[in-house]
């Protein structure tokens, strides 16, 4: 019976209904565990339209429930639907929407209820059987206590209205944020070239909503010379430039540069050239144009990072510019929150400002210095994971999971 404590509320109600029915048999023991956490995913768990599923939906002879036969296809559609629901919550004004790992149980004992106006969060739980739970208006108990204490001190000093949340101190400097945004945009746009169908749909939605999107390229500029040098030397930049040059050659355009900034092209001549190209080449051009105009630091970059499962280990490795910006951030914010640090194997730690000295010592001992550490800012995962707009350093997919 202890296993029932790990079940969702819906599973507990279903089991109890089976238990009370003399004509049914409620699973117990090992069968109960398999029933709760097995690979069977009932069709009722889907929050996406069932017609989008390309696999088979099967059912047994006597049961009323139907099941998806391909978990990978199911979770791909389910994850996309979860991300859309997350975006909708954020648009409603929730401060944060946390997507929990598959199989992680949502517990209320370590949280307190807080409304949206008082900084409450939304937690989205993902059970192993595909069931999705939406838990609105919760806050970690320790975080709530800190906010209450800060609010009480501010109210006592008369510095802030009672219901106004305390402003969060940024974890990174503006230069460090720009560094992260540009490298993320760099990696996402080169991966987007491999997914023209997604790019086409993003282009349509961008034209309709015009949200944070204009028909002009992301220039990848910055105020810090080290940031610009890092971007120019990145492999993602080189790979994307190669594709740009190939497409410019296809169109008969001279020199190098962005396709979306080709102001000197003759429209009738260019249109005539496009009429001679097959649809496959046109789709490549549309995908490149969408990638060029993808704004760094936008919500679209974070969403694409999830959908495309971008692995930052392929396109980025920490260098001196990263460590210098990190040290500057730590000096400007001495007490960085530990919640932004991913301690998974292969991920970098924000608690190492003396990285140059550590790498020199490693080399002197005859060991190869590690170059694939990723900042504890963003994490790649094939399953749903946390995505938040509360801080640039907390989008969840920059740290590659080995």
pLDDT of 238 higher than 50: yes
CB 324 within 8 A of CB 226: yes
Helix spans in 174-298 (H): 174-192, 196-209, 225-232, 235-251, 267-275, 279-292
What would the pLDDT profile of 153-197 be if each residue is shown by its tens digit? 888 776 555 455 545 555 677 788 888 889 999 999 999 999 999
> CB-based burial of residue 139 (10 Å sphere; 0-12 exposed, 13-18 middle, 19+ buried)?
buried
pTM above 0.75, yes or no: no
The region of weakest confidence among 14-23, 141-150, 385-394 is 385-394
The Cα 350–Cα 342 span in angstroms is 9
pLDDT, mean of residues 12-25: 75
pLDDT, mean of residues 94-102: 89
Of 218 and 145, the structure prediction assigns the larger pLDDT to 145
The Cα 306–Cα 308 span in angstroms is 6
Which residues make Cβ contacts (< 8 Å) with residue 342, sequence separation at least 6?
374, 376, 377, 379, 399
The tokens describing 299, both together, are 């919500």
The Cα 371–Cα 134 span in angstroms is 39
Of 238 and 36, the structure prediction assigns the larger pLDDT to 238
């Amino acid at each position: 019976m202890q296993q029932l404590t790990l079940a969702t509320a819906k599973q507990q109600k279903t089991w109890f209904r089976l238990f009370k029915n003399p004509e049914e048999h409620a699973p117990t023991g090992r069968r109960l565990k398999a029933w709760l956490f097995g690979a069977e995913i009932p069709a009722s768990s889907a929050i996406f339209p069932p017609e989008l599923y390309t696999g088979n939906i099967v059912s047994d002879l006597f049961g009323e429930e139907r099941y998806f036969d391909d978990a990978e296809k199911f979770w791909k559609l389910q994850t996309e639907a979860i991300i859309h629901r997350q975006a909708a919550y954020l648009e409603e004004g929730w401060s944060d929407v946390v997507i929990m790992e598959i199989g992680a149980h949502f517990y209320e004992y370590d949280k307190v209820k807080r409304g949206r106006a008082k900084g409450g969060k939304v937690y989205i739980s993902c059970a192993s059987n595909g069931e999705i739970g939406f838990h609105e208006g919760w806050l970690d108990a320790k975080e709530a206590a800190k906010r209450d204490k800060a609010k009480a001190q501010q109210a006592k000093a008369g510095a802030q209205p009672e219901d106004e949340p305390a402003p969060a101190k940024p974890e990174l400097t503006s230069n460090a944020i720009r560094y992260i945004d540009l490298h993320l945009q760099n990696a996402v746009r080169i991966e987007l070239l491999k997914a023209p169908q997604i790019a086409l749909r993003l282009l349509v939605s961008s034209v309709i909503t015009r949200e944070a999107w204009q028909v002009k390229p992301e220039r990848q500029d910055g105020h810090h010379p080290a940031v610009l040098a890092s971007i120019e030397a990145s492999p993602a930049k080189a790979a994307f430039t190669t594709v740009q040059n190939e497409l410019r050659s296809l169109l008969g355009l001279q020199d190098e540069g962005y396709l979306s900034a080709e102001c000197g092209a003759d429209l009738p001549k260019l249109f005539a050239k496009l009429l001679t190209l097959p649809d496959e080449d046109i789709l490549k051009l549309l995908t490149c144009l969408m990638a060029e105009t993808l704004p760094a630091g936008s919500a679209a970059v974070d969403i694409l990072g999830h959908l495309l499962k971008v692995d930052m280990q392929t396109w980025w490795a920490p260098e001196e510019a990263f460590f210098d910006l990190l040290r500057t951030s730590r000096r400007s914010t001495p007490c960085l929150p530990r919640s932004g640090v991913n301690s998974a194997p292969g991920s970098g730690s924000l608690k190492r400002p003396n990285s140059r000295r550590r790498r020199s010592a490693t080399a002197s001992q005859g060991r190869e210095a590690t170059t694939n550490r990723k900042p504890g800012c963003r994490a790649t995962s094939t399953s749903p994971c946390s995505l938040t707009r509360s801080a640039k350093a907390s989008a969840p997919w920059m740290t590659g999971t080995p």
